[in-house]
Amino acid sequence: MPPVSAPSPGFDFQLVFAALPAPHALLGPGGQVQVLNDALLALLPGQEPARLPGRPLAELLHAAAAAEALLAPAHEWPAALARALATGKPEVLTPTPQRAAPGARYWQATLQALPAYRRSPPGLLLSLLDVTDALHPADPHSLHSQARLRIFAEHLPQQVWTATADGQLEFFNKRTAEFLGEDPAGRGAPNDWRRAVHPDDQEEALTRWEQAVAQGSPFEVELRLLRHDGAFRWVLVQAEPARDARGHVLRWYGANTDIHQLRTLTHQLVRREQDFRFLVESLPHLVWAATADGRFTFVNRHWVDYTGLPLDQAQDGWAQLLPPEDRPAAVQEMATHWASGRAFELHTRLYDARTGQYRWFVHRGQPLYDARGQFVRWYGTSTDVDDAVRTQGLLEEQNQRLTRANQDFDNFVYTASHDLKQPINNMAGIFEELTRTAYFRDPEAGQLISYFERALTQIYDTIDDLTAVVQLQRPQPAPAEAVELAPMVRAVVHSVQNQVTRLRADISLDVARCPTVLYVRAHLQSLLFNLLSNALKYAAPGRPPRIVVGAVPDAETGRPVLTVRDNGLGIDLDRFGPQLFQQFARFHAHIDGTGMGLYLVNRIVESHGGHLEVASVVDAGTTFTLYL
């Protein structure tokens, strides 16, 4: 770089340099101070100007930077000095933005090499540029910033406020004033906020606020604030301290959030949780909840009392409660249920820690899914059914014994009725031959013979009824078939024609709406025979029997409904109703009978899935309605 020419006479370089408004300095090749202007001297408070030449300027500036000026890091300066001298190009050192004390300024340094002059070694010109506004945001605590913050706060949809460092309220926004019912004109003045706090919350709120102010720690409390309409609302009050560079609290910034609805819902949720737990603990079942793979997340008190396993042991140890011989199959079945994600029911025995015995339980699980169809958890119960299982076992055993006894009885009745028929037939034949060939001198012999014939008839009827009962209780190979009612009724009437003629009975049919029924022919014939013969047998003295046989389809099911209506003696249902279909039940002792007719009718109808209804008025008649 060529030497520059000398300044013209009369030009006072030092005066001009000293008067420059920006901080400037002339430095030696190593950065030592040669000349400083007044603006730069102002950045070095406490330094005597006479002692500054020869001292490294970077050192002096960084010593002052901690309090007043912020510069580029000290380790960057030596290299920048060397580059400026070597290249002759300006070197710029820019400070890094950082948290600083109020009033601190950021300075950008520019180093420019100076050419040699009058055999003097080359030097450097240092100039500092204030870049605070470009690198650091405005001081939030300045008056200008405070005004901007207030404008911002007024437009927030939330209650916000500020307090002094010692905790005195100094400002709250319009939303807060509207909530409290305060005069907006006085919002900038300190206010006794405690009068708006619910009396039950004042002591805790004040204590915690004073602790936060004393410690400079964040403040948070839930309390009830009095709204302008006189209602207390739950509010979350939060505040954070703003500090200076030395950590001193400058003021507090706070916000109030209305959480009344949230608090109410939370309270309701807690109450429901309490109610749910009360219900769960009150149930006489073992209640549990589990994850998708069957890890228990909850068990009630009954579970713990019965199994002796608290939740932490039950999570993976429930299988040990099963009998060893049942465990592999039960665990496999449970794993299948867990994987299915569907409601299930499982019967196992479970160990009773109180007695050391195993009892039967039915385990029922119900999956819970969220609104998106994602599995949430299992809820289930385990119900002690040991007594029911044991009772069921006893009932099945007794039922088997009864079944065997019934079979033995049926076999006996069938055998007895079969074996009795032949001697009775022989007796009847001998008696018939005797009455035909023998001569009886006793004038009452005819009446005795009539009694004997009647006794034989009763024996025949009893044997036939017993045989019919046994056959009814045995599986019937005969299939149902379409049976025409009119011919069937006429055939039955023909079989009792002697009684019909003797009693001058009138039997009519009303089967036009249901002329044919699908039924076992022998069973339908037995039904009609028993009902018609009973109607004739229990005819009222002094009036001819009037019997109507009808059939219609059921209005709901379409199945046939058969009716047999008479005008006979009738049955006292209030007296005999419970005995109506019992074996050997007799309701008119003055008339001979076996008491098996209605029993057989009811059994036949029920064996086909139907039922029988009886309506009767004493001395007026009876109507039998058979739902076939």
Of 12, 105, 18, 1, nearest in space to 61 by CA = 105
- Residue reference for tokens 């901007």: 148
Q: Please report the pLDDT score of residue 623 as a whole number.
A: 94
Neighbour count for residue 361 (Cβ, 10 Å): 22
Count how many Cα atoms sit within 13 Å of the Cα of residue 470 in the half-sphere of its side chain. 18
pTM for this model (two decimals): 0.39
Q: How much of the chain, in percent, has pLDDT values that exceed 70?
A: 80
Which pLDDT tens digit goes with each residue over 583-592?
Answer: 656 666 556 6
Element (H, E) at 471: helix 445-473
517 versus 157: the higher-pLDDT residue is 517
pLDDT of 185 strictly over 70: no
Question: Same fold for the domain at 143-264 and the one at 283-384?
Answer: yes
In which element (H, E) is residue 183 found?
none
Distance CA 284, CA 301 (A): 10
Contacts of 516 (CB under 8 A, 6+ apart): 482, 483, 484, 485
Assigned token pair, 628:
């076939």
Q: Among 81-95, 178-192, 321-335, whose mean pLDDT is lowest?
A: 178-192
The band of 582, judged by pLDDT with boundaries at 50, 70 and 90, is confident
Tell me the per-residue pLDDT of 339-350, one tens digit each, with 9 for 90 and over.
888 999 999 999
CATH number given to 476-627: 3.30.565.10
Task: Please give the Cα distance from 533 to 562 (Å, whole number).
Answer: 16
Cα angle at 97 between 95 and 103, to 5 degrees?
Answer: 95
**What region does 177 belong to: left with phi over 0, alpha with psi -120 to 50, or beta?**
alpha
Average pLDDT of the segment spanning 9-19:
67
- CB hemisphere CA count around 194 (13 angstroms): 14
pLDDT at position 382 is: 93
Half-sphere CA count of 253, side-chain side, radius 13 A: 11
Q: Give the pLDDT score at 68.
A: 47
Res 363: pLDDT: 93
| H or E segment and range at residue 132 | helix 132-135
Tell me the C-alpha distance between 399 and 526, whole Å: 29
Tokens of 39: 């603006």
Angle among Cα 276, 279, 281 to the nearest 5 degrees reads 110
Q: Does residue 186 surpass a pLDDT of 60?
A: no
Q: Please give the pLDDT value at position 67.
A: 41
- Contact by Cβ (8 Å): 119, 132: no
Highest mean pLDDT among 57-61, 70-74, 324-328, 421-425: 324-328
What mean pLDDT is predicted for residues 549-564?
93
Q: What pLDDT is stored for residue 576 in this prediction?
A: 76
Q: 233: which 2 tokens?
A: 């609302």
User: Cα 110–116–120 angle (5° rounding)?
Assistant: 115
Q: Is the predicted pLDDT of residue 422 greater than 70, yes or no? A: no
The per-residue pLDDT for range 28-45, each reduced to its tens digit, is: 888 898 888 888 888 888
Average pLDDT over residues 554-568: 93
Most confident of 2-6, 190-194, 280-284, 529-533: 529-533
CA nearest 95: which of 132, 61, 126?
A: 132
Q: Which pLDDT score, from 0 to 100, does residue 414 have?
A: 57
pLDDT at 585: 63
Residue 397 has pLDDT above 50, yes or no: yes
Strand pairing report for 506-510 and 546-553: parallel
- 624 forms bridges with which residues in the sheet? 564, 614
Top-confidence residue, 544 or 187: 544
Which pLDDT does position 407 carry in this prediction?
67
Give the SS3 label for residue 349.
strand
For residue 135, name the pLDDT band (cuts at 50, 70, 90).
Answer: low
pLDDT in tens, 287-301: 999 988 888 889 999
Per CATH, the architecture of 283-384 is what? Answer: 2-Layer Sandwich (3.30)
Its CATH architecture, for the domain 13-135, is 2-Layer Sandwich (3.30)
CA dist list (Å): 246 to 105, 160, 165, 217, 391? 16, 26, 14, 15, 84
Q: Give 501 or 428, the one with higher predicted confidence.
A: 501
**Residue 518 pLDDT grade (very low, low, confident, very high; cuts 50, 70, 90):** very high
Cα-based distances in Å from 315 to 288, 295, 339, 361, 612: 10, 5, 17, 19, 57
pLDDT tops 80 at residue 481: yes
Query: Over 70: is that where the pLDDT of 334 sits?
Result: yes
Task: Give residues with Cβ within 8 angstroms of 273, minimum separation 6.
Answer: none
pLDDT tens digits for range 250-294: 889 999 988 888 888 888 888 888 887 888 888 888 999 998 888
CA proximity to 469, closest of 411, 532, 392, 514: 411
Q: Given the DSSP bridges, would you call strands 33-36 and 344-352 parallel, antiparallel or unpaired? A: unpaired
Per-domain residue ranges of the chain: 13-135, 143-264, 283-384, 391-468, 476-627
- Using alpha carbons only, what angle is made at residue 516 by residues 515 and 519, rounded to the nearest 5 degrees? 145
pLDDT tens-digit map of 60-97: 887 765 444 578 888 888 888 899 888 888 888 877 66
Tokens for 382, please give them. 């385990």
Task: Name the CATH superfamily, with its identifier, for domain 143-264.
Answer: PAS domain (3.30.450.20)
pLDDT at 494 over 50: yes
Q: Is the pLDDT of residue 544 over 90?
A: yes
pLDDT of residue 198: 94
Quote the DSSP letter at residue 289. E
Q: What is the pLDDT of residues 196-221, one digit of tens each?
A: 899 999 999 999 999 999 999 999 99
Please report which confidence band the pLDDT of residue 249 belongs to, taking 50, 70 and 90 as the band edges. confident
Closest C-alpha to 128, from 64, 46, 29, 61: 61
User: Among 3.30.70, 2.60.40, 1.10.287, 1.10.530, what is the CATH number of 391-468?
Assistant: 1.10.287
